[in-house]
Structure 1
Amino acid sequence: MVGNDNIRVPVSRRERPAKPALTRHGIIEAALAILRAEGLSRVTMRRIAAALDTGPASLYVYVHNTEDLHAQVLDALLAPVVTAVPGTGSWRVRLKALLAGYRDILFQHPEIARMALSTQPSGPNYMALGDRILGLLVEGGVSDRAAAWGLDLLLLYPTAIAVENGSQKSATQKADDLTALAARVAAADATRYPHVARLGEEIVSGSGPERADWTLDVLLDGILAAGPPISAG
């Protein structure tokens, strides 16, 4: 029997390549790609689901909500921070390098910094960061209570600086704001604002890195000197 070459063989529409299985790692990788290309505001369940060719409901098996998603994105960004800290130098030098690495990640992603002010991250990389900070404080002779309580202060400072630095203003606008501030301070009425007038030059002195380094020294010196908490009674 001669076959008919014109006969069309039906093809099942189900025979398409299978989608990769959803995983927490895959979801975070998709979120990071969207963050870098479109910003944190676009890192939503719906947007990630579209990128992974699935429904938003499928993501909730691995991520509780958008806040949890953003916290996990921050944790993923922190992966290289701890390993990049130099193995030599004083405990203070290494601690400053560790905090600088954390700050630099937040400087690159100011929207993440704003999120970190209102959300408490607790992923493995953030925990490793905290553990390394505590270890360096203990190495420096800080008491256990002061180290435990000082951890929040040391993480809050670079986070707040990153939020401040991450405003939508251009570098030129920020420089203009500083120039205007210096002019107002210099013109302060010595009668109404005697201390501002006297210390005006000092108020606006110092570069960003110099002031940041000084602030960390103040925090570390205070944590070193801290005694037991004073009883409210």
Structure 2
Amino acid sequence: MEFLDNITTNWIIIFILTGFIAGYIDSIAGGGGMIQVPVLLYSGIPPVFVLAANKSAGMFGALMATIKYAASKKVNWKVVSIAIIPCLLASYLGSSLVMYLPQELIHWAILLSIAIAMISLFKKSKTIKEENIKLTKKSIILSTAPIGFYDGILGPGTGTYLTISMKKFLNLDFLVSTASTKPLNFATNFGSVVAFFFAGKILWLVAIPMGIANICGSYVGSHYAIKGGEAFIKKVLITVLVAMLFANIYKMIFQ
């Protein structure tokens, strides 16, 4: 792998800084991959290895966020226990198929998913007290597993989409939605990492330092999400979606 010669100490430092910022954003609203993937690509690492490194680092960050939110008792474990296996399997399937999809189709699919997420976010929906929410197995799986599949294929914005989906279709508030997303995000990342591991696509030289930085950023971000509550999380969600929209439009026009 000749491209490994270009991974200098300076690049490792950049990966660490990028991982911290991505972990911070991802722990609040998702979208950490949107930060990590462009930097990894710019370093000259091939796309498949980039996806593998992004998933590996994101897995560590999602684990830290899960621990932090669980300690604050913000995770809805009923949702997690029902959705985690379907999300993991869907993610594994997505990662197994990603190399066979046309690039142009992927770009349009991303734009469509962002548009749907923004419409859902700005459309008012009732927040019901947790004790009054009636969650069915079917509703939980339908609102999470398709996003797990998306995570396996692409990844950026998965946490954002899961949070909005839980808010919209399961009537959880933003803080509980965000918290419950993290163990699912860990599962989808884990499913992808397994697929990439057996394919020999994980660059541990990149994934480990970026993953440690992800853990640190995730710890700080989840702290501020718990402290700031729903209003803070919604602002970050909107920022992430707008950034994703412009980033993907730019990519389609100029690349």
Instruction: Please say whether Structure 1 and Structure 2 have the same fold, judged by a TM-score greater than 0.5.
Output: no
| Higher RCO (CA 8 Å, separation ≥ 6 residues) | 2
Greater share of residues in helix: 2
When Rg is computed on C-alpha atoms for both structures, the one with the higher figure is 1
